[in-house]
Amino acid sequence: MITNVYSYFSLLILFITGILYCQKTLKLSIFKFIPGLTFIYFGGMIGASLHIWKLNSEISSFIGSLKYYLLPMMLFLLLLKNDIRDVFKLGPKLIGTFFAVTASILIGFIIVYVFFKHKLDPEAWQTFVVFLEDGSQALTYAFLMDNICASFWLVLLITFAPMREKFNKFSGANSKEIDKIISRMHFNAAKNEDKRDYEFMDFMLTLGLGLGIAGIVLVIGKQLINPGNLVDGSFLKPLRTFFSGSGWVVIVATVFGLLGSMTPLKKIKGTDHVGNVLLYIVVGLIATATDFSTISFEDAAIYIIGGFLILLFHLIVLLILAKIFKLDLYICGIASQANIGGTVSAPILAGTYDDALIPAGLMMGILGTAIGTIIGLLLAKILILL
């Protein structure tokens, strides 16, 4: 069992490199059906659950800190090459699907809560809306619902990525419109790219600029942890989840990335490649921190089942919407994950579809986190009355 931080991280990087080598260099046929990110995600969770490394306080703290530090750098670098004006062209269908998905999840929570209410604790509504006190039993159940159900959903959507053509045939979606926007994004990025060979200073500029901006973003984020001086006893306390240091870090990093994409910084070679490396590392960090072997499913089973039923209801509604409005898989996936996973996993999923869609996933993820906070407050009021 690995207990050393450096050994754990070395193994993680070696594992990610091996998966990507098989996918991008060897081009194994299995990756036509299952993306590399799925293997990284499942491999990380299996490794943690088999205790190949011990999630002691040192390694757990390292994972949390590194993920927090790498996230703003990743977002900034990935956004540099993209023109936000192209992202807005995805607008109406993406926004409309997003809010329809939000409604389906809200209704799903209410239906499942009413159906299982007689089997739940009186305070079970707290788990469903994540309106929790640290250390409470409800917090444990909420953690399980999030880690198991949300992780499963992300892996499922990533795995569906190569099946876009079949999905769009089912929904009747015309992919040409979105493909045209994606092609334009790639064309603009290639046009702005410096045509000379990649050099040592390009890597140093990317590394120095990325780390420098990340440092500034983290400082700014910590200054914006508690706007309005919300107190612990306030019913608005859940807003602190969004208006937290990490929430603001994502927003500020996004702003810096979008502003940078309008300057000569967008011409720096290799920023997208380094950003993608960080994307895979962040996914690996998230996965390797998920140890299912420590979970007692006996007491939490009802909550986990409830979580999957909510996802099932959401999936049925999503398929109906896709059929009625002829929605593309990319639109459905990004809108769904933005609601369920928020600012971190939405751009990860979008990047699985196409690098050019990462800004769209990020924007929807931020919106999902903000709207999710408001919906959580509304849901709390509804469940208390039921």
Q: Residue 217 corresponds to which tokens in the numbers above?
A: 């973003």
Give yes or no for residue 134 having a pLDDT over 50.
no
Percent of the chain with pLDDT strictly greater than 70: 81
Q: Interior CA angle at 210 toward 204 and 215, to 5°?
A: 125
pLDDT beyond 60 at 65: yes
Ramachandran bin of 56, using left for φ above 0, alpha for ψ from -120 to 50, beta for the remaining angles: beta
Is residue 139 very low, low, confident or very high in pLDDT (cuts 50, 70, 90)?
low
Q: What is the pLDDT at residue 63? A: 94
Q: 196-211: per-residue pLDDT in tens?
A: 788 899 899 999 999 9
In whole angstroms, what is the distance from residue 219 CA to residue 216 CA? 5
Q: What's the pLDDT tens digit per position in 5-23?
A: 999 999 999 999 999 999 9
**Cα-Cα-Cα-Cα dihedral sign, residues 157, 255, 200, 267:** positive
Q: How far apart are CA 62 and CA 65, in angstroms?
A: 5
Mean of the pLDDT values across residues 62-80?
90
**So what's the pLDDT on residue 301?**
77
C-alpha pair distances (Å), 107 with each of 138, 142, 231, 370, 380: 21, 18, 30, 18, 13
Contact, 164 vs 329, CB < 8 A? yes
**Is the whole model's pTM more than 0.85, yes or no?**
no
pLDDT in tens, 293-323: 766 666 667 778 888 898 999 999 999 999 9
Q: Is the pLDDT assigned to residue 188 strictly greater than 60?
A: yes
Would you say residue 68 has pLDDT above 50?
A: yes
Give the 3-state secondary structure of residue 2: strand
pLDDT at 220: 82
- Band the pLDDT of 235: cuts 50, 70, 90: very low
pLDDT digits (tens, 9 = 90+) for 322-379: 999 999 999 999 999 988 887 778 888 888 888 788 888 888 887 787 777 677 767 7
Whether the pLDDT of residue 263 is over 50: the answer is yes
What Å distances lie between residue 114 and 5, 132, 332, 360, CA to CA? 45, 20, 27, 35
What is residue 141's predicted lDDT score, i.e. its pLDDT? 63
Across the chain, mean pLDDT equals 81
Q: In angstroms, rounded to a whole number, what is the distance separating the alpha carbons of residues 238 and 373?
A: 7
